[in-house]
Structure 1
Amino acid sequence: MASEHIEQKLALLPDLPGSYQMKDINGKIIYVGKAKNLKNRVRSYFKSEHTGKTAQLVENIADFDFIVTSSEKESLLLEITLIQKYQPYYNIRLKRGTGYPYIKITHEADPKLELANDVKEDGAQYFGPYPNVYAAQETLHFLQKVYPLRRCNGYQGRPCLYANMGQCLGACYRQVPFTEYLDQIKKIQHFLDGDTKEVTKVLNEKMNTASENLEFERAADLRDQLKFIETTVEKQKIISKDGTPRDLFNFYMDKGWLSVQVFFVRQARLMKREKRTFAIVESAEEEMTSFILQFYNRKNAVLPKEILVPAGVDKAMISDVLHVPVRTPQRGEKRDLLDLAEKNAKIVLDEKFRLMEMNESKTSGAMQEIADALGIPEIHRIEAFDHSHTQGAEMVSAMVVFEDGVPNKNKYRKYKNKTVEHADERAETMEVIRRRYTRLLKEHAEMPDLILMDGGVIQLNAAREVIEDELGLDVPVAAMVKNDQHKTADLLREEGEPHVNLDPKSQGFFLLQRIQDEVHRFVITFHRQLRSKSSLGSKLDEIAGVGPKTRQKLLAKFGSLNKIANASIADLREAGVSEKVANAIKISLQAIQHADD
Structure 2
Amino acid sequence: MNKLEKNTEVKLSSLSTKERIQTILSVLPENPGCYQYFDEKGTIIYVGKAKNLKKRVSSYFNKEHDNNKTRVLVKQIRDIKYFVVDTEEDALLLENNLIKQYRPRYNVLLKDDKTYPSIVVKNEYFPRIFQTRNIVRDGSQYYGPYPSLYTAKIMLQMIKELYPIRTCKLPLTPETIAQRRYKLCLEYHIKRCKAPCEGLQSSEEYLKNIGEIKEILKGNISTVSKILYDEMQALAAELRFEEAQKVKEKYEVIENYRAKSTVVTPMLTNIDVFSFAENEKSAFINYMHIGNGAIVQAYTFEYKKKLDEAKEELLAMGIIEMRSRFKSTAREIIVPFEPDMNLEGVTINIPQRGDKKKLLDLSVMNVKQYKVDKLKQAEKLNPEQRSTRLLKEIQTQLHLDKLPIHIECFDNSNIQGSDPVAACVVFKMGKPAKKDYRKYNIKTVEGPDDYASMREVVYRRYKRLLEEKAPLPDLIITDGGKGQMEVVREVLQDTLQINIPIAGLAKDKKHRTSEFLFGFPPEPIGLVQKSSLFHLLEQMQNEVHRFAITFHKDKRSKRQTASELDTIKGIGDKTKTVLLRTFKSVKRIREANIDELTKVIGEAKARLLIESLSK
Same fold (TM over 0.5): no
Larger gyration radius, structure 1 or structure 2: 2
Q: Normalization by structure 1: what TM-score?
A: 0.30
Relative CO higher for 1 or 2, CA cutoff 8 Å, sep ≥ 6? 1
